[in-house]
Amino acid sequence: MKKLLLLGDEAIAKAALDAGLSGMYAYPGTPSTEIMEYIQSSEDSSDHKVHREWSSNEKTAIEAALGMSYAGKRAMVAMKHVGLNVAADGFINSAITGVNGGLIIVSADDPSMHSSQNEQDSRFYGKFAFVPCFEPSNQQEAYDMVFDAFEISEKYKSPVLFRITTRLAHSRASVNLRPGLPQKELSLPVDPLQFVLLPAIARGKYKSLLSSYESLRYDSLISKYNNFKDGNKRDLGIITCGIAYNYFLENVGDSIDNFPVLKITAYPFPKDLIKHITGRCKEILILEEGAPVLEEALRGILDDGIKIYGRLDGTVPRDGELNPAIVAKAIGLPLSYGQAVPSLVKMRPPSFCNGCGHADMFNSLIDAIKPYGSGHVFSDIGCYTLAALPPYNIINSCVDMGASVTMAIGASDAGLFPSVAVIGDSTFTHSGMTGLLDAVVKNSSVTIIISDNSTTGMTGGQKSQATGRIQQICKGIGVNPDHLRSIVPLRKNHSENVCTLKEEFEYKGVSVVIASRECIQTATRRKRSGNSMNNSIS
C-alpha cells in the first residue's frame, strides 16, 4: 500500500483527487490554504484535468462548486471558518437544492485565533443547514472520510460539511492511500427544477431536507465514524469530538480501559450512543475542540440531567484550543512541567518583512494624516493589519474582508473627515469592490488606498485576482479618473507620496490611491526560481 507524509489539509486534498474530484474551488485562508495548494501542484490534477483556480472569494467558490455538482461531477470547496460566513448564503441554500455530483465543503476552524479575527465552530453551520458533517480526529481519518463524504453526498443528494481545526490542518502524519477512482461523467439533474428555489418548490424541498437529516444519523456511512468503547469503571464516561480524542488518549494511554469512551467524528449526533453512555455512567466529561456544541445540546436549557463536565462549567476553558495539559487537568491527572520561561524572553510579534511595500505606504500615510489627528484610518485583513501595532499604530479597524471601504463610507456619512480606507489588492477583489460601488453611487467623501503587492501575501503568496486589473476595475465602477492615483511606495518617493495622499484627503468625493509594489516574499522567490510574475500556476 502506498504511504505519504501529509498535512491534514493535504490528506483531504489527496483523498479528493483519489476519489475522482473534477473541480476544486477556494479562496486562501489560514488554516485551509494548503488544500488548494496541494491540488494545484499535484501531478494527479494535471493528468486528470482537475479544475483548480483560486476564486475571488468563498461565495463565488461555493457557487462554482455547486455548478460543477449540478453537472454531475464531484467538487470540493475549501475555506477558513470565517469564509463560511461569506459563503453562507450559497451553503445554506445548497442544502435545500441538494446536489447532483458529490459536493464537500471544507471549513477549517482556527480555535485560539492563531491567524484569525474570531474563533467560531463550523459544526453549528452543519446543524443550521441540516447537512451531514465530518470531523476527522487524525490525518488518516481525514483521508478516508473524504471517500465516504462524497458517497453520502451523492446518496442523500446533500452537500457535506467537512470540519477540521488548525492543529489537524497543519500537522503532518503518514497516510495510507487507496486506489484512485475515475471522475464522474457529465450528467444533468434528473429533475430540471431541482436547483430552482421558487417558494413553491423550496417549501417542498425544505420538508424533505428536514426528514432526510433525521435518517442520516442511522446511515452506516455516518455511524461507522461514531464509536463507543466500554470501560472497567462506570464513574466517569468520556465523550470526545474530533481531535479531542487524541489529547485524551495521550493522557490516559493504556489506562483507557478504565473509561467508557464515546468517540464522535460524524454528525448529526449519534443519539443512541449518547443515550447508551449517559445511561451507564454517573458523570460525563465532554471534550470538544471549539465551541461546546454537543455540551449545550446535552445540557439543554434546564440542565437537570446527568452531571456533565465540560467547557460550560469551567472544567475546560470556555474558549481556545485544547492541548494535552488542558485535557489532563479535566480528567484529574497530575501535570508535569519543564522549567519556567526565563523572564528575559521577550514577545516577538509578527512584523512587516524588510523591504515590504506596505510599510513604506504606511510611513507616507502616517505623515499625510498627521495634521488631522488620529482615528481616521479603517483597514482590512492581510499583512497590512500589522500597522495596528507599534511603531505604526495607524489603523483603527480590522473587522471582516472588505469592511475598510464600507466602514469609511459610514464614518464619512457621520461627518468624519477625512475618512480613509486601507485595503490589500486581493481583499479588494474579494469584497471591497461592491463597497467602492456604494461609495461612487453616493459620492461619499472617502479616500481608499489599495495597497497592491500583487499577491495574497499573508497566506503565503497565492495568485491575486486583482493583479493587473485594479485600475480598470476602479474606472469601470466609476471612480473619477482625476482622483484615481497611482503611487510606488518606496522610501525615495516618500514626500511625493505624502503630497498625493494629502491632495486626495482634501477631495470631497471618492478618491482611490493605488500603491503598487510587489510583495518582497514573492519577488524573492520569483528571482530565485527565475520565473516571471504570477505564472507559477498554470
Q: How many residues line the site for other proteins (CB under 8 A)? A: 49
Tell me if 377 sits within 8 A of 412, measured CB to CB. Answer: no
Cell of 259: 473509561
Tell me, residue by residue from 116 to 145, as one string, x for binding to other proteins by CB under 8 A and - for no binding: ------------------------------
Q: Could you tell me which residues are beta bridge partners of residue 484?
A: 512
Is 354 exposed, middle or buried, given 0-12, 13-18 or 19+ CB atoms closer than 10 A? exposed
Tell me, residue by residue from 35 to 74, as one string, x for binding to other proteins by CB under 8 A and - for no binding: ----------------------------------------
Write out the binding residues for other proteins, residues 432-461 only, by CB under 8 A. Answer: 458-460
CB of 362 to other proteins, least distance (A): 14
Window of 59-67, 148-156, 320-328, 510-518 that interacts with other proteins by CB under 8 A: 320-328
Q: Is 215 in the site for other proteins (CB under 8 A)?
A: no
How far is CA 61 from its chain centroid? 12
Q: Is 383 in the site for other proteins (CB under 8 A)?
A: yes
Q: How far apart are CA 12 and CA 341, in angstroms?
A: 37
Element (H, E) at 486: strand 484-487
Window of 63-71, 96-104, 199-207, 333-341 that interacts with other proteins by CB under 8 A: 333-341
The residues near 252 (Cβ < 8 Å, ≥ 6 apart) are: 258, 259, 331, 333
Window of 2-10, 312-320, 446-454, 497-505 that interacts with other proteins by CB under 8 A: 2-10
CB of 391 to other proteins, least distance (A): 8
Q: Is 346 in the site for other proteins (CB under 8 A)?
A: yes
- Which residue, 68, 67, 29, 37, is CA-closest to 53? 37
Window of 309-317, 339-347, 400-408, 488-496 that interacts with other proteins by CB under 8 A: 339-347
Q: How far apart are CA 179 and CA 176, in angstroms?
A: 10
Q: How far apart are CA 319 and CA 120, in angstroms?
A: 10
Among 350, 468, 476, 478, which residue sits at the site for other proteins (rule: CB under 8 A)? 350
Handedness of CA 525, 530, 533, 535 (dihedral sign): negative
CB of 12 to other proteins, least distance (A): 15
Tell me if 330 sits within 8 A of 311, measured CB to CB. Answer: no
SS3 457: coil
Q: Is 30 in the site for other proteins (CB under 8 A)?
A: yes
Binding site for other proteins (CB under 8 A): 3, 5, 7, 30-31, 33-34, 114-115, 167-168, 170-174, 243, 246-247, 249-251, 323-325, 328, 335-342, 344-353, 383, 386, 458-460
